[in-house]
Amino acid sequence: MNTKFSFIILTFNEELNLDRLLDSISGLEAPTYILDSGSTDKTLEICNSRKIEVQSNKFINHPQQWDYALRNFNINTPWTIGLDADQTVSPELYELLQRFTPADYSNIDGIYFNRKYYFQNQWIEYGGYYPMYLLKMFKTNLGYSDLSENMDHRFQVIGKTIIWNDGYIIEENLKENSIGFWINKHNIYSDLIAEKDVMKRLITTHTTNYQALFGDPNQRKIWKKQVWDKLPRFIRPTLYLFYRLIIQRGILDGKKGIIFHFLHAFWFRLIVDLKIEERLQENFVVIPFQRKKEIYTFFIKFIYLFLVFYSINIGFIAISSPGGFYIPFVETHLNYIQFLRNTYISGVTFILRLLGFEVITSPFGLGVLNHAGFKLVYSCLGYGLMSCFSAFAISIPKPFPSRYLFLALGIILIFLLNVFRLVLIALYYKPNFNIFKLDHHEIFNIATYLTIIGCSYLYLKHIKHDE
C-alpha cells in the first residue's frame, strides 16, 4: 500500500467517468476515498466493487463539498491529492507520482498539476485553457478548500508551492457529450455565481485577499476575477469572448473549439449577468426619475457633448488634410486620426498574420493574398460612434469613477468590434455585398448606434437605490 499520498474524489452520478479515473491511478496503490452527493446510477456499485471507502454529503457547492471531504476523511498519508471524477491521471503525471518521495518536498506545501481539458472529444488547446495549472496535491492538514466562492473551486496552502508542468491531468466529462447536459449544468453554475455576486453587493462577505498579478496560479486567477467583478455587466462577456478567441487564439481550436469558447465565454457569462440583474431588481428599490428636469438635463448634455465631440473630429480632419484649412504641423505632429487608422491597420495585420495569411499593407489600408482587403476612409474609423458613446457615457447619472471606466471600456469595445469587422472584410468582402441596400459601414454604424440608444433608454428608465 502506498504510504506517500492518498486520493480524495468527488462523485455524483459518475458511472461514465469513474472507472476511467480509478483505472488511471490503480497501479499507484494509494488509499482512495470518495465523497458522494447522492448518486442514483451505478457510481456506488463501482465503489463497492473496488472496496473504496465512501461517505455521503448533501451537495451545496464544490468549495463546501471539498471542505467536508478534507475534514471528515481520516487521511494517514503525509500528502493528499484531490480529483474530480471526470479527471484522469496522464502517463506523465503517473510517472511523477510513482517517483514521488515526501522527503524531497519537505519545504513544499502544495503542487500544481497541469491540465488538458477536452470538450466533446476535442482538446481545447487555446483560449487560455492550456497550460492551466490547478493546485491538486498538498500536505495533509495544510491544504484547505477556499470557501470564498460559490462555484469556482480551488485548494489553497499558505506555504511554498511548485508546478509540475509536464505532469498533467486529463479532464473530460463524458456526460458533456450531450450539449443538453452541459447547458443544464452551467445553468446551475450560473445561479451559484449570480447569488455570490449579489451577496457581495448587498452585505459584507468574506473574500480572499490571496491575490497577485505576478503570483502563483491561484493568486493570478483571483486577481483576474477581481478585475472581472469590476467590469460593466453585459459588456464583459463580449470583451471576454474577443479575448479568448483573438488574444488567446481560441479561434485556432477549430469549429468545435470556437463553439465551446462562445458557450463558455459569452453565453454562460451573459446568463450570469442576466441573473445578477434579476436578483438586484429583487433586492434594490427601482424607481423612475422623479423630475422631468433630470431627463431633459441628460438629453441636453448628451446631445451637446455629441455635437461638440463630433465637430472637433470633423474640424481636425479639415485642418490635418490638404485643402482649404490645412495646417501641415497638425498633420505631421498631432494627427490622432492617422494614428487611429494606423492602429486599426496594425491590429488587423497582426491578427491576419497570426492566422497564417499573407498581408500587404499601405498607410491607408491593406490587402490579403488570394482574398480581399480594404482602404480605410474616414467613415471606416468609427470616430462618430466614439463621439456618440463618449457623450453618452459622460452624461449618464452615475458616480464619476464608474462613468469613466464605462467610457474607457466602451471605446475599447467599439475599437475591437471594428477590428473584428475589418478582419472579416479583408478576408471575405465583395463589392456588391449589401443587406436592404446597406453596405457594411452602414450596418455596423446602425447596430452600434442602436446599442448606444438602447443603453441610454435603460439608464434613463431606472435608477437603482440601495435601501
Question: Which domains does the chain show, CATH number per domain?
Answer: 5-175 (3.90.550.10), 179-285 (no CATH), 287-465 (no CATH)
**CA–CA separation, 357 vs 69, rounded Å?**
52
**CA–CA separation, 307 vs 298, rounded Å?**
14
Say if residue 199's pLDDT is above 90: no
pLDDT of residue 436: 46
pLDDT of residue 167: 92
CB atoms within 10 A of CB 395: 21
More confident of the two residues 108 and 208: 108
pLDDT of residue 207: 54
Say if residue 149's pLDDT is above 70: yes
Task: pLDDT band for 232, please (50, 70, 90 cuts).
Answer: confident
C-alpha grid cell for residue 209? 485577499
Average pLDDT rounded to a whole number, residues 299-313:
87
**CA–CA separation, 449 vs 231, rounded Å?**
21
- Among 154-163, 296-305, 308-317, where is mean pLDDT lowest? 296-305
- Reading phi first (left if > 0) and then psi (alpha if -120 to 50, else beta), residue 427 is in alpha
Amino acid code (one letter) for 221: K
More confident of the two residues 210 and 22: 22
Q: What's the pTM?
A: 0.66
What is the percent of the chain where pLDDT is above 70? 86
Say if residue 220's pLDDT is above 80: yes
Q: Where are the alpha helices (DSSP H) in 161-246?
A: 179-202, 217-230, 236-242
Average pLDDT rounded to a whole number, residues 249-274:
93
pLDDT in tens, 436-459: 455 656 666 677 667 666 665 555
pLDDT in tens, 110-142: 999 999 999 999 999 999 999 999 999 999 999
Task: pLDDT band for 335, please (50, 70, 90 cuts).
Answer: confident
More confident of the two residues 400 and 91: 91
Say if residue 433's pLDDT is above 60: no
More confident of the two residues 332 and 397: 332
pLDDT of residue 392: 83
More confident of the two residues 384 and 462: 384
pLDDT of residue 285: 43
- 367 in Cβ contact with 360 (< 8 Å): yes
**CA–CA separation, 79 vs 137, rounded Å?**
7
**CA–CA separation, 95 vs 383, rounded Å?**
58
More confident of the two residues 400 and 460: 400
pLDDT of residue 456: 55
pLDDT of residue 332: 83
Say if residue 400's pLDDT is above 70: no
Say if residue 289's pLDDT is above 60: no
For the purposes of burial, counting CB atoms within 10 Å of the CB of 114, is it exposed (0-12), middle (13-18) or buried (19 or more)?
A: buried
Question: What does the DSSP assignment read for 58-72?
Answer: --S-HHHHHHHHHHH
pLDDT of residue 333: 81
